[in-house]
C-alpha cells in the first residue's frame, strides 16, 4: 500500500481544528480567493454548511462534529444534565442545515451517543470528550479516503480517460477525497491518465473546485459543461466514470449531485463502467432504497442566475433539486475503504459493513 501522507500534504484542507477553534475554507470564493473563516457560533456553522462554504458529504460530517464543539463551548458552566439537553438541541439544529448527505446526521448522532455514554462528572470534562470525538471523526475520514484511494487506484490504467461529476475531492473530505482518492494515488504511482470534470450546474463545483484541485496537483484535467458528457463519451474519450456520493441506501442506490444519474445512464449506453467512491460513513443502513433518501431543494436564484447575472425571466417557475438518485443497477461498483463492493448490493453491503 502506498504511503499517501506526501500527497495529502499538498492538498487544500476544507476543515481545520486548531487551538480549540474551527476554521472552514470558504469554498464559495474558490478558485479566486483562498479564505479560511473562523467559526464562532452554531449559527455561523449552520450557515456555512447551508450556503456551501463547506460542502461535500464527508466534510460536512466533520464540520458538523466540530460545529457541535463550537456550539457547546460556551455551555461548560452548566450542570451535566442541562449540558446534555442543550447538546441534543444543538445537534438537531446543526443537522437541519442540509438534508441529503447522511454523514452530517451520522457524525452528530455519533457525537451525542459517545457523550451520553461518557463517564464524566462535569460539563467541562464532557466538552473535552466532544472535542476528542470530533478529532477522531476527522482522523477517521482521512483513513477512509486513503483506503478508497488504495482500493480504487488499480482500476486506473495508463492512458485512461475518467469522467467525474461535482467535487468529491479533498475539498469535500478531510484529505484525498473519495472519487479523487484513486486518482491521487494512481497519479503518485506515475500512471498517466486524463480526467474530464463536469462543470456541475448550478453551483459549478466541477468548474470551481474539482478542476482547481486536480490542476494544482498536476493531474491532466479538462473541464467540460454538463451537456458535453455524451459527446465526449461518444468520441471514445472516457473509459470509466468515478463519482462520490452523499448517501447510499441499503440496496446500493446512490444519491449524489444533480446530474449524476444522467451520467450513469449515458455510461450504460456507451458501455463505460460507472463507479461510486463511498466511505462506510456514507452508507445509510436504515434507508432501504433510494426512494427514501431526502432530496434537498435549494433556492430559485441558483437556477435563474449565472453567478451575479440574472439569466432567466422574472417570475419564471423553477425547480432546483440539488441531488438525484442513481439506481444500483447502473453502478459497476462501490469503491469503499475496505474493498470494491459489487452487486448484489443489499447482500454485499450488509456482509461487508453490517450495521453498527
From 95, 198, 246, 284, the catalytic residue: 246
Beta strands in 93-182 (DSSP E): 161-164
Residue 220: CB minimum distance to ligand MRU, A: 21
55 sits near ligand MRU (criterion: CB under 6 A): yes
Quick one: which of 170, 210, 217, 245 contacts ligand MRU (CB under 6 A)? Answer: 245
174 sits near ligand MRU (criterion: CB under 6 A): no
Find, among 233, 231, 249, the residue nearest to 241 by Cα: 233
Strands 194-198 and 36-39: unpaired
- Alpha carbons 87 and 105: distance in angstroms, whole number: 14
Cross-strand partners of 163? 196, 241
Query: How does 177-214 read in b/e, with b if 16+ C-beta sit within 10 Å?
Result: bbbbbbbbbbbbeebebbbbbbbbbbbbbbbbbbbbbb
Q: Which is nearer to ligand MRU, 110 or 165 (CB)?
A: 165
Q: What are phi and psi of 181, to 5 degrees?
A: -60, -50
Using the rule CB under 6 A, give the single segment among 10-18, 71-79, 165-173, 224-232 that binds ligand MRU: 165-173
208 sits near ligand MRU (criterion: CB under 6 A): no
Residue 34: CB minimum distance to ligand MRU, A: 18
256 sits near ligand MRU (criterion: CB under 6 A): yes
58 sits near ligand MRU (criterion: CB under 6 A): yes
Quick one: 355 exposed, middle or buried, by C-beta within 10 A (0-12, 13-18, 19+)?
A: exposed
- How many residues lie near ligand MRU (CB under 6 A)? 19
- Alpha carbons 248 and 267: distance in angstroms, whole number: 19
Q: Has 324 been annotated as catalytic?
A: no
322 sits near ligand MRU (criterion: CB under 6 A): yes
Q: Which is nearer to ligand MRU, 130 or 276 (CB)?
A: 276
Distances (CA, A) of 253 to 160, 248, 265, 284: 26, 6, 14, 10
246 sits near ligand MRU (criterion: CB under 6 A): yes
- Alpha carbons 76 and 4: distance in angstroms, whole number: 38
What's the DSSP call for residue 73?
G
205 sits near ligand MRU (criterion: CB under 6 A): yes
Measured at the CA of 170, the angle between CA 320 and CA 257, to 5 degrees, comes to: 20
Quick one: which of 8, 25, 52, 204 contacts ligand MRU (CB under 6 A)? Answer: 52
263 sits near ligand MRU (criterion: CB under 6 A): no
Q: Which is nearer to ligand MRU, 111 or 243 (CB)?
A: 243
Using the rule CB under 6 A, give the single segment among 37-45, 56-64, 230-238, 333-341 that binds ligand MRU: 56-64
178 sits near ligand MRU (criterion: CB under 6 A): yes
Using the rule CB under 6 A, give the single segment among 51-59, 70-78, 155-163, 305-313 that binds ligand MRU: 51-59
3-state SS, 124-145, equals HHHHHHHHHHHHHHHHHHHHHH
Distances (CA, A) of 2 to 9, 213, 320, 340: 14, 21, 41, 17
What's the DSSP call for residue 54?
S
Quick one: which of 166, 214, 219, 221 contacts ligand MRU (CB under 6 A)? Answer: 166
Residue 306: CB minimum distance to ligand MRU, A: 17
Distances (CA, A) of 25 to 45, 104, 105: 12, 18, 21
Residue 30: CB minimum distance to ligand MRU, A: 12
Question: Which positions from 281 to 300 touch ligand MRU by CB under 6 A, shown as an x/- string?
Answer: --------------------
Residue 223: CB minimum distance to ligand MRU, A: 16
- Alpha carbons 169 and 2: distance in angstroms, whole number: 18
* Interaction residues for ligand MRU, span 101-120 (CB under 6 A): 101
- Residues marked active site are found at 246
Site residues (vs ligand MRU, CB under 6 A): 52, 55-58, 101, 166, 168, 172-173, 177-178, 205, 244-246, 256-257, 322
Amino acid at each position: 500500500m502506498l504511503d499517501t501522507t506526501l500527497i495529502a500534504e499538498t492538498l487544500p484542507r476544507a476543515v481545520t481544528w486548531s487551538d480549540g477553534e474551527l476554521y472552514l475554507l470558504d469554498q464559495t470564493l474558490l478558485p479566486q480567493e483562498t479564505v479560511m473563516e473562523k467559526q464562532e457560533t452554531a449559527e455561523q456553522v449552520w450557515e456555512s454548511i447551508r450556503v456551501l462554504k463547506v460542502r461535500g458529504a464527508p466534510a460536512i460530517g466533520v464540520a458538523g462534529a466540530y460545529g457541535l464543539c463550537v456550539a457547546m463551548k460556551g455551555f461548560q458552566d452548566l450542570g451535566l444534565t442541562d449540558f446534555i439537553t442543550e447538546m441534543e438541541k444543538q445537534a438537531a439544529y446543526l443537522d437541519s442545515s442540509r438534508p441529503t448527505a447522511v454523514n452530517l446526521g451520522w457524525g452528530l448522532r455519533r457525537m451525542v451517543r459517545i457523550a451520553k455514554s461518557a463517564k464524566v462528572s462535569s460539563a467541562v470534562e464532557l466538552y473535552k470528550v466532544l472535542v476528542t470525538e470530533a478529532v477522531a471523526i476527522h482522523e477517521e475520514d482521512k483513513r477512509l479516503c486513503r483506503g478508497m484511494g488504495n482500493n480504487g487506484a488499480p482500476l486506473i490504467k495508463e492512458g485512461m480517460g475518467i469522467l467525474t461529476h461535482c467535487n468529491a475531492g479533498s475539498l469535500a473530505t478531510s484529505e484525498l477525497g473519495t472519487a479523487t482518492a484513486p486518482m491521487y494515488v494512481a497519479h503518485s504511482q506515475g500512471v498517466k491518465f486524463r480526467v474530464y470534470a463536469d462543470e456541475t450546474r448550478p453551483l459549478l463545483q466541477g468548474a470551481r473546485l474539482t478542476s482547481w484541485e486536480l490542476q494544482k496537483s498536476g493531474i491532466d484535467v479538462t473541464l467540460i459543461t454538463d451537456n458535453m458528457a455524451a459527446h465526449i463519451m461518444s468520441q471514445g474519450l472516457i473509459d470509466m466514470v468515478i463519482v462520490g456520493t452523499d448517501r447510499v441506501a441499503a440496496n446500493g442506490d446512490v444519491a449524489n449531485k444533480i446530474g449524476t444519474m444522467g451520467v450513469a445512464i449515458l455510461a450504460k449506453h456507451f458501455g463505460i463502467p460507472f463507479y461510486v467512491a463511498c466511505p462506510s460513513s456514507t452508507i445509510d443502513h436504515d434507508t432501504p432504497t433510494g426512494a427514501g433518501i431526502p432530496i434537498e431543494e435549494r433556492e430559485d436564484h441558483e437556477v435563474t442566475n449565472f453567478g451575479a447575472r440574472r439569466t432567466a425571466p422574472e417570475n419564471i417557475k423553477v425547480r432546483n433539486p440539488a441531488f438525484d438518485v442513481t439506481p444500483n443497477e447502473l453502478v459497476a461498483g462501490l469503491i469503499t475503504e475496505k474493498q470494491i463492493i459489487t452487486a448484489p448490493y443489499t447482500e454485499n453491503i450488509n456482509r461487508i459493513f453490517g450495521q453498527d
